[in-house]
């Protein structure tokens, strides 16, 4: 099968990009040929080794004539590369997928990674998008009830993570000791990590607000912020204002995420908005207890008190409470981590994701041919 992926956002480092890259690897391993078109003005170098061919288009021009030009170019690519299915990611890419379907008859599906805000005109998308994939059942129900999608055309496929890469048995003590040392983390420090772009929606500010209470009970704690983003200066200013600079470590962009999770005691995700956070799956596979906001698809991942803890949005009091509880009780922490891996292996593996997406491609293709 020849698969064309449309990604209409700037390619950064985040959950959607990780999802797409992993999906490409999985489809390629299954013998499919994958092509991708991203938005921007330069190629994504990391994708060159994964795809059969890559193009870069401007999906977000304000000039409607350029939209039409891009649409025609996409149709030419679909025909030249003998594409069997188009997989669009996010709404703008979905419009182009619909255009391709209208002009060439090639079926398409749109993956929705995050909740949509309510707006009257968004109900029209149920007439534009033939099939959509939601990354959680929460999102699926919302698209059916709030945006008028036919239930038979909305498919929940949970995010998946490579269970072989994210395995706590992969890393030696010496390897992890050197990593901690390089980050200024000593052997007796307790590490609480948040792995996400540095945006307020991911909840870094809540960790900062909860930090004084946590430090009061666990003075050896260190907070690890992994990622980059436009709110970095804002977070650093908040930390400096509270005189907490000695307790926070900003790593910037990193690719050694499994290793950074391995040196963590807890992984947190106190977000204000989510779909189904990939970094929580990564942490669960690495047998780390998680503390996260119980929004969107998170309750489909975490059973409160069994394989992690959930809090309400902006609830810094309980965020601190559960972090302190886990750092103070190694038996509880270890047991939660083990149950988290069991959950992730059962529900959120990359192999499961690949199988379900492949089956959906075949289903959609059959329906369009019938």
Average pLDDT over residues 293-312: 97
Tokens of 173: 């003590």
Task: State the pLDDT confidence band at 370, using cuts at 50, 70 and 90.
Answer: low
Q: What is the pLDDT of residue 369?
A: 63
pLDDT at 279 over 60: yes
Please give the C-alpha separations between residue 238 and each of 200, 207, 249, in angstroms, as whole numbers: 12, 11, 14
Dihedral of CA atoms 211, 216, 221, 226 in degrees, nearest 10, equals 0
Average pLDDT over residues 294-301: 96
**For the chain, percent of residues with pLDDT exceeding 90:** 88
pLDDT at 308 over 80: yes
CA angle 136, 12, 135 (to 5 degrees): 5
pLDDT at 203 over 70: yes
What sign results for the dihedral spanned by CA atoms 168, 172, 178, 184?
A: positive
Write the pLDDT tens digit of every residue in 175-184: 999 999 999 9
Average pLDDT over residues 186-193: 97
C-beta separation of 3 from 78 below 8 A = no
pLDDT: is 118 or 346 the higher one? 346
Write the pLDDT tens digit of every residue in 328-345: 999 999 999 999 999 999
Report the side by side order of strands in the sheet with 53-57: 53-57, 33-39, 2-10, 85-89, 108-112, 132-134, 154-156
99: left (phi over 0), alpha (psi -120 to 50) or beta: alpha
Average pLDDT of the chain, as a whole number? 95
Task: State the pLDDT confidence band at 320, using cuts at 50, 70 and 90.
Answer: very high
Q: Picking from 215-219, 246-250, 364-368, which range would have the lowest pLDDT averaged per residue?
A: 364-368
Q: Picking from 7-16, 280-289, 307-316, which range would have the lowest pLDDT averaged per residue?
A: 7-16
Q: Picking from 29-33, 42-46, 238-242, 298-302, which range would have the lowest pLDDT averaged per residue?
A: 42-46
Average pLDDT over residues 263-279: 95
- The helix or strand, by DSSP H or E, that contains position 317, with its residue range, turns out to be helix 316-328
Q: What is the pLDDT of residue 63?
A: 82
pLDDT: is 237 or 114 the higher one? 237
Domains of the chain: 2-160+350-369 (3.40.50.2000), 168-347 (3.40.50.2000)
Please give the C-alpha separations between residue 9 and each of 38, 39, 94, 190, 262, in angstroms, as whole numbers: 7, 6, 12, 37, 31
How far from chain centre, in Å, is Cα 3? 21
Q: What is the pLDDT of residue 324?
A: 98
Q: Which of 327, 306, 297, 300 is nearest to 193 (CA)?
A: 327
d(CA 182, CA 186): 10
Tokens of 304: 């409160």
In this structure, the number of other CB atoms found within 10 A of the CB of residue 46 comes to 12
């Amino acid at each position: 099968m020849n698969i064309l992926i449309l990604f209409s956002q700037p390619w950064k480092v985040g959950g959607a990009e990780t999802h797409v890259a992993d999906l490409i690897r999985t489809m390629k391993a299954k013998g499919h040929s994958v092509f991708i078109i991203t938005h921007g003005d330069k190629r994504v170098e990391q994708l060159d080794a994964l795809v059969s061919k890559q193009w870069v288009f401007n999906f977000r021009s304000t000039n409607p004539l350029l939209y039409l030009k891009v649409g025609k170019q996409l149709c030419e690519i679909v025909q030249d590369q003998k594409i069997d299915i188009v997989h669009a990611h996010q709404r703008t890419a979905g419009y182009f997928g619909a255009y391709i379907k209208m002009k060439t008859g090639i079926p398409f599906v749109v993956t929705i990674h995050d909740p949509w805000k309510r707006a009257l005109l968004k109900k029209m998308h149920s007439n534009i998008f033939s099939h959509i994939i939601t990354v959680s059942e929460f999102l699926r129900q919302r698209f059916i009830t709030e945006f008028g999608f036919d239930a038979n055309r909305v498919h929940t496929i949970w995010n998946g993570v490579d269970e072989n890469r994210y395995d706590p048995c992969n890393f030696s003590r010496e390897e992890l000791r050197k990593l901690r040392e390089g980050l200024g983390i000593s052997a007796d420090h307790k590490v609480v990590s948040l792995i996400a772009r540095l945006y307020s929606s991911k909840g870094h500010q809540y960790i900062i607000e909860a930090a004084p209470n946590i430090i009061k009970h666990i003075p050896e704690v260190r907070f690890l912020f992994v990622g980059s983003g436009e709110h970095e200066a804002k977070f650093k200013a908040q930390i400096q204002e509270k005189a907490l600079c000695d307790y926070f470590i900003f790593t910037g962009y990193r690719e050694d995420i499994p290793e950074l999770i391995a040196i963590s005691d807890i992984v947190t995700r106190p977000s204000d908005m989510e779909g189904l956070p990939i970094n929580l799956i990564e942490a669960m596979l690495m047998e780390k207890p998680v503390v996260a906001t119980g929004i969107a698809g998170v309750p489909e991942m975490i059973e409160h008190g069994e394989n992690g803890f959930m809090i309400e949005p902006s609830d810094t009091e309980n965020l601190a409470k559960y972090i302190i509880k886990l750092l103070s009780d190694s038996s509880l922490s270890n047991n939660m981590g083990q149950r988290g891996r069991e959950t992730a292996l059962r529900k959120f593996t990359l192999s499961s994701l690949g199988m379900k997406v492949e089956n959906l491609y075949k289903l959609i293709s059959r329906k369009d041919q019938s």
